[in-house]
Amino acid sequence: MHEHHLILRVVTKIVVGTIILFAFYVQFHGDFSPGGGFQAGVIMAVAFILYGVVFGLSKVKQVFPVWLAHKLMALGVLIYAGTGLVSLFYGYPFLDYTVFDPEHPTHGQHWGIWLVELGVGVTVSGVIVSIYYAFASRTPHISDEDW
As a whole number of Å, the end-to-end CA separation of the chain is 23
Whether 138 shows a pLDDT value over 80: the answer reads yes
* Opening angle at CA 117, ends 41 and 99, nearest 5: 160
Residue type, 56: G
| Cα angle for residues 121, 61, 76 (degrees, 5° grid) | 20
Pairwise CA distance, residues 2 & 8, whole Å: 11
Q: How far is CA 121 from CA 49, 60, 72, 90, 132, in A?
A: 16, 20, 10, 26, 17
Question: What's the pTM?
Answer: 0.85
Domain-by-domain residue ranges, the chain? 3-142
pLDDT of residue 4 exceeding 70: no
When pLDDT is averaged across residues 8-26 and rounded to a whole number, the result is 94
* pLDDT at 129 > cutoff 90: yes
93 to 36, 67, 86: CA distances (angstroms): 23, 34, 10
Q: What is the pLDDT of residue 98?
A: 87
Distance of CA 103 to the CA centre of its chain: 33
How confident is the prediction for the chain on average, in pLDDT? 89
